[in-house]
């Protein structure tokens, strides 16, 4: 059986990659994909913990399902807003969405 | 304690959700905005009645297999959130400023309020996450509901930062779950209470991630970047709602997780997270106040001021002592006082913005001569935000600083000194605004008056600010009893 640490390291790497993507990408779509990567890391963590702690304990798996469901809702909404901004500006880059600035 | 009786425990939130659906349906039938707004107020009144029934019956205990708990803490926030939502709905009678979809606006307000009430009642990580995200998603839409481009931009920025902070929060939850083996806050408290010294690093990582995720809701530095942009870009009605309700909900769940879940002041890691909040508090106050000084747009100024105020409230989170609930009760009292003050200030801004068509601070010159009532209420709210007696803001600050000093830690006394210095900085920009209204010559001296509904709402806020400043016993007692149910 693969040790638990392997899963944790993999999810740590995924989370870090996602976070890097959030900081480095300019397109709102790519930022959303990076956030999805972070959420995938979280789900992996939950499922790994759940299966190593107790076979009877489904809490972690259920948590992962909730994470996936809510992430989908969030992405749907985000794409709606991005579409609206795109129609007006022909661009989905967040650094061009800068009419609000100090 | 399952089945129908469980539903009774989340009754107030359910009433709001059913109300939201009814509002949407009624909006399909009639185009009259007054009808939907009136219906929304009716739903809020019913919810308040339901919550009162809980208070009178003294309901307490867990429901839905321990997912939610009903206690004075949750009910305190339920009343606070209902009051905020009702104030926003009443303000909307004046006009929906840049929002065209009235039905959606009211339905989303109710949904958001409902999920924040569930959030204050949540007793388990999954419920916390779902309630938090439902709140957030409703608020993302609200921020983007305005007709113009800036509102859509505010919505997108709010959503992206919100999604990132949710992911960070969840990563923290995952570690907490992995360590404790359960998602229930009581189970986690039990685990932390056994003092697992070997897991200190992992626990520290978990609570830092959780604080980062919640810091977004509370708007404390360094998780504040969205605040000024969203406050300025979103329709002012929505900004009013966010500045009061979202912040209250953020602090509510932070208190619940750190006191019920991580054991408050009695565990081996309590000083660690207290120190983390102390650093965040000092940074928030200093950054918020310094950035607010140079602002000329009143909504942006109030945005930075709300970051600074979040710093003040976070002093209460840092004031952790063994077996003491002085810190949390100070946070609850501060939130009550801050809500009345902040709503008052924002409603004044809405009234003025509607009449003179500008959010520039220079256009507030001579407001005292143009609209004495509004100017006086705004001046009173600004005094309260600064923390000058006899207002509620003064007592809230005294109470929260006292809680920090009572713990007896030298670094908390240092934090209070930073906070007092910051109050002096904040006095500069708050009082400069008040001075502009009172002393400067208006460019255009046409008088104007708020409508009757808004006038009475403003009077109510001013009375609340003065009442809690002169006779705080009732609110302090409510906050103390609510905080005691946390541990």
> Chain B within 8 Å of A41 (Cβ-Cβ)?
yes
Q: Cα-Cα-Cα-Cα dihedral of B75, B79, B80, B84, to 10°?
A: 150
Cβ-nearest to A97 among B156, B178, B295: B156
CB contact under 8 A, B130 and A73: no
Residue in A with minimal Cα distance to B167? A39
* Residues in chain B closer than 8 A to A17 (CB atoms): none
The reply to whether ipTM tops 0.90 is yes
- Residues of chain A positioned with their CB less than 8 A from the CB of B126: 59, 62-63, 66
Q: Which residue in chain B has the smallest CA separation from A23?
A: B164
pLDDT at B310 over 80: yes
Integer CA distances (angstroms), B126 to A35, A59, B135, in order: 19, 9, 14
How far, in Å, CA of B65 to CA of B319, rounded? 32
pLDDT, average across residues B350-371:
87
Question: Read out DSSP for B21-51?
Answer: HHHHHHHHH---HHHHHHHHHHHHHHHHHHH
**Using CB atoms, which residue from B157, B166, B174 is nearest to A46?**
B174
pLDDT in tens, B427-463: 999 999 999 998 888 877 788 888 888 899 999 999 9
In this predicted structure, what is the pLDDT of residue B50? 93
Helical (H) or strand (E) element with B462: helix B452-470
pLDDT band at A102 (very low <50, low <70, confident <90, very high): very low
Partners of B228 on chain A (C-beta within 8 Å) are 100, 102
Facing B152 at nearest CB: one of A41, A81, A101: A81
- The pLDDT tens digits for B234-274 are 998 999 999 999 999 999 999 999 998 887 777 888 888 99
Of the pLDDT bands very low, low, confident and very high (cuts 50, 70, 90), residue B2 is low
When pLDDT is averaged across residues B383-403 and rounded to a whole number, the result is 92
Element (H, E) at B62: strand B61-63
Can you list the pairs that A79-87 forms with residues at least 24 positions away whose Cβ atoms lie under 8 Å? A79/A29, A79/A32, A81/B140, A81/B144, A81/B152, A81/B155, A81/B156, A81/B159, A82/A28, A82/A29, A82/B156, A84/B144, A84/B152, A85/A28, A85/B149, A85/B152, A85/B153, A85/B156
Q: What is the band of A94 on the pLDDT scale with cuts at 50, 70, 90? A: low
pLDDT of residue B166 exceeding 80, the answer is yes
**Contact between A15 and B171 using a beta-carbon 8 Å cutoff:** yes
CB contact (8 A) between residue A59 and residue B300: no
Name every chain A residue with its beta carbon within 8 A of the beta carbon of B154.
Answer: 100
Separation CA B133–CA B155 (nearest Å): 15
Residue B408's pLDDT is 84
Q: What is the mean pLDDT of residues B461-481?
A: 93
Nearest neighbour of A70 by CB, restricted to B133, B160, B300? B133
What's the mean pLDDT in A18-33?
91
d(CA B347, CA B239) in angstroms, rounded, equals: 10
Mean pLDDT across B383-408: 92
Mean pLDDT, chain B, whole residue set = 91
The vertex-B301 CA angle with B297 and B304, nearest 5°, equals 140
Q: Looking at beta carbons, which residues of chain B come within 8 Å of A99?
A: 149-150, 153, 233
The 3-state DSSP class for residue B410 equals: helix
Break chain B into its structural domains and give their ranges.
269-487
- Tell me what percent of the residues of chain B surpass a pLDDT of 90: 64
**Which residues have C-beta within 8 Å of that of residue B10, sequence separation ≥ 6?**
B63, B64, B68, B70, B118, B121
CB proximity list for B398: less than 8 A, separation 6 or greater: none
Q: Which range, of A88-97, B40-49, B264-273, B451-460, averages the lowest pLDDT?
A: A88-97
Which residues in chain B are closer than 8 Å to A11, comparing Cβ atoms? 174
* Chain segment B65-96, per-residue pLDDT in tens: 888 999 999 999 999 999 999 999 999 887 77
Q: Is the pTM of this model over 0.80?
A: yes
Domains of chain A: 4-97 (1.10.287.3510)
The nearest alpha carbon in chain A to B153 belongs to A97
- Chain B residues with CB under 8 Å of A77 CB are 137, 140-141, 159
Res B354: pLDDT: 85
Closest CA to B476 of B379, B408, B402, B419: B402
Query: Chain B interface residues facing chain A, Cβ-Cβ under 8 Å?
Result: 125-126, 129-130, 133, 137, 140-141, 144, 149-150, 152-157, 159-160, 163-164, 166-168, 170-171, 173-175, 177-178, 181-183, 228-229, 232-233, 291, 294-295, 300
Best-predicted range by mean pLDDT (A28-32, B108-112, B265-269): B108-112
Q: Helix, strand, coil % (nearest 5) of chain A?
A: 75, 0, 20
B208-235 pLDDT, tens per residue?
Answer: 999 999 999 999 988 888 998 899 889 9
Distance CA B354, CA B347 (A): 11
Shortest distance between the Cα of B276 and any Cα of chain A, in A, equals 22
């Amino acid at each position: 059986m693969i040790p638990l640490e392997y899963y944790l390291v993999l999810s740590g790497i995924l989370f870090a990659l996602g976070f890097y993507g959030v900081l480095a990408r300019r397109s709102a779509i790519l930022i959303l994909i990076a956030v999805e990567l972070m959420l995938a890391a979280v789900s992996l963590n939950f499922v790994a913990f759940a299966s190593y702690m107790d076979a009877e304990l489904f809490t972690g798996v259920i948590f992962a399902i909730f994470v996936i469901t809510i992430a989908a809702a969030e992405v749907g909404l985000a794409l709606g807003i991005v579409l609206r901004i795109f129609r007006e500006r022909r661009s989905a880059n967040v650094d061009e969405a800068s009419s609000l600035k100090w | 304690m399952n089945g129908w009786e469980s539903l009774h425990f989340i009754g107030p939130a359910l009433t709001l959700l059913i109300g939201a659906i009814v509002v949407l349906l009624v909006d399909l039938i009639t185009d009259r905005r007054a009808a939907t707004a009136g219906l929304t107020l009716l739903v809020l009144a019913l919810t308040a009645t339901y919550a009162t029934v809980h208070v009178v019956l003294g309901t307490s205990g867990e429901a839905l297999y321990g997912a939610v708990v009903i206690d004075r803490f949750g009910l305190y926030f339920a009343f606070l959130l209902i009051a905020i939502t009702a104030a926003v709905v009443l303000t909307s009678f004046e006009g929906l400023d840049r929002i065209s979809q009235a039905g959606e606006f009211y339905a989303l307000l109710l949904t958001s309020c409902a999920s924040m009430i569930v959030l204050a009642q949540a007793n388990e990580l999954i419920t916390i996450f779902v309630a938090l995200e439902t709140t957030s998603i409703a608020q993302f839409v609200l921020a983007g509901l305005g007709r113009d481009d800036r509102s859509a931009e505010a919505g997108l920025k709010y959503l992206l930062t919100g999604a990132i902070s949710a992911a960070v929060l969840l990563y923290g939850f995952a570690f907490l779950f992995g360590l404790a083996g359960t998602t229930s806050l009581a189970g986690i408290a039990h685990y932390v209470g056994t003092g697992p010294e070997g897991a200190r690093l992992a626990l520290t990582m978990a609570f830092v991630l959780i604080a980062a995720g919640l810091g977004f809701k509370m708007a404390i530095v360094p998780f504040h970047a969205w605040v000024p942009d969203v406050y300025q870009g979103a329709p002012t009605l929505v900004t009013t709602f966010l500045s009061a309700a979202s912040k209250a909900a953020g602090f509510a769940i932070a208190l619940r997780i750190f006191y019920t879940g991580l054991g408050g002041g009695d565990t081996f890691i309590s000083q660690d997270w207290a120190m983390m909040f102390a650093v965040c508090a000092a940074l928030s106050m200093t950054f918020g106040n310094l950035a607010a000084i140079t602002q000329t747009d009143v909504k942006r100024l109030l945005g930075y001021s709300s970051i600074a105020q979040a710093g003040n409230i976070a002093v209460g989170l840092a004031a952790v002592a063994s077996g003491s609930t002085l810190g949390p009760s100070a946070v609850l009292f501060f939130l009550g006082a801050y809500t009345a003050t902040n709503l008052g200030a924002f409603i004044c801004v809405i009234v003025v913005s509607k009449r003179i068509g500008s959010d520039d601070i220079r256009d507030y010159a001579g407001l005292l001569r143009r609209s004495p009532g509004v100017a006086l209420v705004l001046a009173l709210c600004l005094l309260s935000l600064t923390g000058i007696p006899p207002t509620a803001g003064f007592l809230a600050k005294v109470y929260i600083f006292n809680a920090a000093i009572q713990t007896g830690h030298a670094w908390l006394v240092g934090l209070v000194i930073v906070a007092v210095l910051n109050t002096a900085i904040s006095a500069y920009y708050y009082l400069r605004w008040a001075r502009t209204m009172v002393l400067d010559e208006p460019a255009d001296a046409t008088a104007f008056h708020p409508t009757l509904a808004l006038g009475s709402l403003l009077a109510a806020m001013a009375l609340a600010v003065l009442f809690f400043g002169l006779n705080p016993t009732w609110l302090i007692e409510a906050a103390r009893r609510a905080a005691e149910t946390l541990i």
